[in-house]
């Protein structure tokens, strides 16, 4: 590309958007499967594991809206999903197909000529200096549907956090706008965890202060919040409650920050050698993918889930970035050593965090 063209792209990427659109693909994994199995459209479909609902210890990755009407949701054991929705069609997860479908969608979004910040398989932010954000959102939905057959919902606002919340009101397959004009009318009476980024622990602490709704939080004196949560978190959640957030849409390609693998055992394990072998295998598989991408590992995390579903993750920083198998597996085993491991283990996971590429 010539220098004038490159300058134009840099100018677009640096432009502060007047609007932020959050694009979220509806029931993404299930929708990708329905493209391959159109005969299942309108029927309950559940994606997870090898597609065998009798397979022990496997969970639902995604459920179609029809399956969700029976109470099926992501993270539910496949066996439980089969009991709730016995007539559902179960399909195996296919990461390669989801990667390809996601790439299709993100390429289409970039072709619209606005900065696009990808946040994963099924969602992205689009920054747009436009007088007609709803018209652009309609175009996004129409282009994605026409070119890929997939449905998406779009939230419109002036920052990422508020746009993300708006998308929830548009699902499935719709568009919703949240601005200062309607923020408190829509959100004021909702619980604080309706704000993106406010989780159970923060919600519990806020409840202890008598703060249960978004309006309560927005009206709270900042000194009360900073005394409880610290200056950074306290002021951030106050900003969220008032509808504020981050409006910087970065156009750089999405780059994974980690690679991870987990294993749920058919039966709980207690033997340390089995645990060590599993951790080594998980770390090796994740490392192989990292080396293929010419990335390096900076930190190693291990997740342990016991038979009581108690789950904990511990992490260790490497002395220096590495792709040496011996270094990575030794670090993973050292992190495993940090756990007491006095109960049967249901699940083990290894996450390798990556150095930021230059």
> Which stretches within the chain are classed as H helix?
3-14, 28-36, 65-68, 78-84, 95-110, 133-148, 160-170, 183-187, 200-208, 214-218, 222-229, 231-241, 272-292, 325-336
| 82 to 191, 198, 250: CA distances (angstroms) | 32, 32, 42
Where do we find the tokens 């002395």? 319
Q: How far apart are CA 263 and CA 278, in angstroms?
A: 8
Judge whether 117 counts as a catalytic residue.
Answer: no
Structural contact between residues 286 and 259, judged by C-beta atoms closer than 8 angstroms: yes
The DSSP H or E segment spanning 329 is: helix 325-336
Please tell me whether the peptide bond between 172 and the residue prior to it is cis, using omega within 30 degrees of 0: yes
Structural contact between residues 23 and 112, judged by C-beta atoms closer than 8 angstroms: no
Kindly name the residue from 117, 123, 319, 324 that is annotated as catalytic. 123
- What amino acid positions are annotated as catalytic residues? 123
């Amino acid at each position: 590309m010539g220098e004038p063209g490159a300058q134009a792209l840099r100018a677009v990427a640096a432009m502060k958007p007047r609007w932020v659109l959050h694009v979220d693909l509806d029931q993404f994994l299930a929708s990708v499967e329905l493209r391959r199995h159109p005969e299942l459209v309108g029927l309950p479909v559940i994606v997870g594991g090898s597609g065998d609902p009798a397979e022990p210890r496997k969970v639902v990755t995604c459920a179609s809206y029809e399956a969700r009407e029976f109470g099926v949701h992501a993270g539910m054991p496949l066996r439980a999903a089969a009991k709730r929705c016995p007539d559902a069609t179960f399909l195996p997860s296919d990461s390669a197909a989801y990667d390809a479908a996601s790439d299709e969608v993100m390429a289409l979004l970039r072709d619209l000529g606005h900065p696009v910040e990808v946040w994963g398989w099924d969602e992205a932010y689009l920054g747009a200096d436009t007088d007609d954000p709803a018209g652009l959102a309609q175009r996004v939905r129409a282009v994605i549907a026409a070119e890929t057959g997939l449905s998406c919902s779009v939230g419109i606002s002036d920052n990422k956090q508020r746009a993300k919340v708006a998308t929830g009101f548009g699902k499935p397959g719709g568009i919703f706008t949240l601005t200062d004009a309607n923020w408190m009318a829509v959100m004021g009476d909702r619980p604080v965890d309706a704000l993106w980024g406010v989780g159970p622990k923060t919600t519990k602490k806020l409840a202890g202060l008598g703060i249960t709704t978004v309006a309560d939080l927005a009206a709270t004196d900042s000194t009360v919040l900073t005394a409880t949560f610290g200056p950074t978190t306290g002021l951030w959640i106050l900003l969220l409650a008032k509808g504020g957030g981050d409006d910087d849409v970065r156009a750089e390609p999405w780059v994974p920050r980690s690679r991870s693998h987990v294993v749920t055992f058919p039966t709980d394990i207690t033997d340390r050698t089995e645990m060590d072998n599993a951790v080594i295998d998980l770390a090796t598989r994740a490392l192989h993918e990292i080396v293929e991408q010419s990335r390096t590992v900076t930190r190693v995390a291990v997740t342990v889930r016991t038979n009581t579903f108690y789950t904990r993750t511990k992490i260790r920083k490497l002395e220096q970035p590495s792709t040496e198998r011996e270094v990575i597996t030794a670090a993973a085993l050292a992190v495993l050593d940090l756990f007491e491991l006095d109960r049967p283990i249901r699940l083990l996971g290894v996450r390798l965090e990556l150095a930021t590429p230059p």
